[in-house]
């Protein structure tokens, strides 16, 4: 699991690197190498990532999936980390399923869910189980897609694709790109991103092996929300190598199996364009 090379006409991305030195050490020690070694080292990296970037009590939702909250002055943040090398993958709700976050996830047995596309009714394309729907791609959106093998394909919002990579089985669109290749991006000077609002953000780390799902509360006492620049800085601090803003405001919602909605939306739960959900191992 990791990055896959985009289809023709798309910028190349890096595949998940193999730690040759570690494999050599394991070989000299007489241990097995191959998929078993890869899974073990990926699990170790995920555990180390959680230890490094998690703040406060960590709730292990399932194998390879954790949730934690960050309380900062005037900010309330919820984070879910998913080990894509051990997870059963991700899914996106279909086009005709506009409901509150968590409804689709609970129906299909997922463990975590966030809201996805901007609702206009759909700004940019989405993919659910191989079915493409939503609005056209344009230079103000970016699609984060997942293959059946949990590989990640993510475009910068300044790249326009006339067709969706056929390897993407599930995906959502957002804007703007916050982090690309571990570099914080300049944010479009749109009032939506210059002012503080509730935020929903998706990111990846460990060369695509770890998925980050993040919500930032706002528009209420003790939770101011974040600007686009502040959101990018947050994701950088959380270790994201790539990050993309999804729909925010009153739609920003995170649902965890067994806990329900864990963040504090600024109003009653509302139907959203779609859900991005993830499974534990």
Question: For residue 116, is it within any domain?
Answer: yes
Q: Check whether residue 67 and residue 172 sit in a common domain.
A: yes
Of 53, 75, 100, the one marking the end of a domain is: 53
Task: Give CA–CA dist 105/116, Å, rounded.
Answer: 13
Task: Give CA–CA dist 77/103, Å, rounded.
Answer: 22
Residue of 256, 257, 262, 233 lying closest to 245 (CA atoms) = 233
Whole-model pTM? 0.88
pLDDT tens for residues 144-169?
999 999 999 998 898 998 889 999 99
Question: For residue 11, is it within any domain?
Answer: no
| pLDDT at residue 4 is higher than 80 | no
Q: Check whether residue 226 and residue 131 sit in a common domain.
A: yes
Question: For residue 4, is it within any domain?
Answer: no
Question: For residue 79, is it within any domain?
Answer: yes
Q: Check whether residue 66 and residue 43 sit in a common domain.
A: no
pLDDT tens for residues 74-107?
999 999 999 999 899 999 999 988 899 999 999 9
Mean pLDDT of the residues in the chain: 88
Domain range holding 193?
59-278
Q: Check whether residue 26 and residue 114 sit in a common domain.
A: no
State how many domains the chain has.
Answer: 2
Q: Check whether residue 169 and residue 151 sit in a common domain.
A: yes
Question: For residue 109, is it within any domain?
Answer: yes
Question: For residue 225, is it within any domain?
Answer: yes
| pLDDT at residue 35 is higher than 60 | no
Give the pLDDT score at 133: 96
Task: Work out whether strand 131-134 and strand 177-180 pair parallel, antiparallel, or are unpaired.
Answer: unpaired
Of 53, 71, 96, the one marking the end of a domain is: 53
Give the pLDDT score at 26: 40
Q: Check whether residue 110 and residue 40 sit in a common domain.
A: no
Q: What percent of the chain has pLDDT over 90?
A: 74
Q: Which two tokens stand for residue 168?
A: 């993407």
Task: Give CA–CA dist 125/174, Å, rounded.
Answer: 9
Q: Check whether residue 100 and residue 22 sit in a common domain.
A: no
Give the pLDDT score at 183: 96
Q: Check whether residue 253 and residue 218 sit in a common domain.
A: yes
Question: For residue 6, is it within any domain?
Answer: no
Q: Check whether residue 183 and residue 245 sit in a common domain.
A: yes
């Amino acid at each position: 699991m990791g990055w896959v090379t985009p289809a023709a006409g798309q910028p190349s991305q890096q595949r998940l690197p193999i730690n040759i030195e570690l494999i050599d050490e394991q070989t000299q020690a007489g241990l097995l190498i191959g998929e078993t070694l890869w899974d073990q080292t990926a699990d170790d990296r995920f555990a180390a990532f959680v230890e490094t970037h998690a703040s406060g009590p960590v709730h292990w939702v399932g194998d390879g999936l954790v949730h934690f909250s960050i309380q900062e002055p005037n900010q309330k943040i919820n984070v879910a980390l998913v080990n894509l090398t051990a997870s059963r993958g991700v899914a996106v709700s279909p086009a005709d399923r506009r409901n509150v976050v968590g409804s689709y996830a609970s129906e299909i047995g997922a463990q975590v869910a966030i809201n996805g596309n901007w609702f206009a009714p759909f700004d940019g394309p989405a993919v659910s189980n191989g079915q493409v729907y939503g609005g056209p791609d344009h230079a103000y959106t970016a699609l984060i897609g997942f293959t059946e093998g949990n590989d990640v394909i993510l475009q910068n919002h300044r790249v326009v694709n006339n067709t969706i990579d056929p390897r993407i089985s599930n995906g959502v669109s957002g804007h703007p790109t916050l982090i690309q290749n571990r570099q914080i991006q300049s944010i479009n000077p749109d009032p939506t991103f210059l002012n503080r609002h509730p935020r929903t953000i998706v990111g990846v780390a460990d060369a695509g092996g770890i998925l980050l799902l993040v919500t930032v509360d706002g528009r209420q006492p003790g939770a101011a929300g974040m600007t686009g620049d502040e959101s990018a800085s947050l994701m950088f601090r959380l270790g994201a190598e790539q990050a993309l803003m999804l729909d925010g405001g009153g739609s920003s919602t995170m649902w965890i199996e067994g806990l329900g909605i864990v963040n504090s939306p600024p109003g009653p739960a509302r139907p959203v364009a779609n859900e991005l959900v993830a499974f534990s191992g």
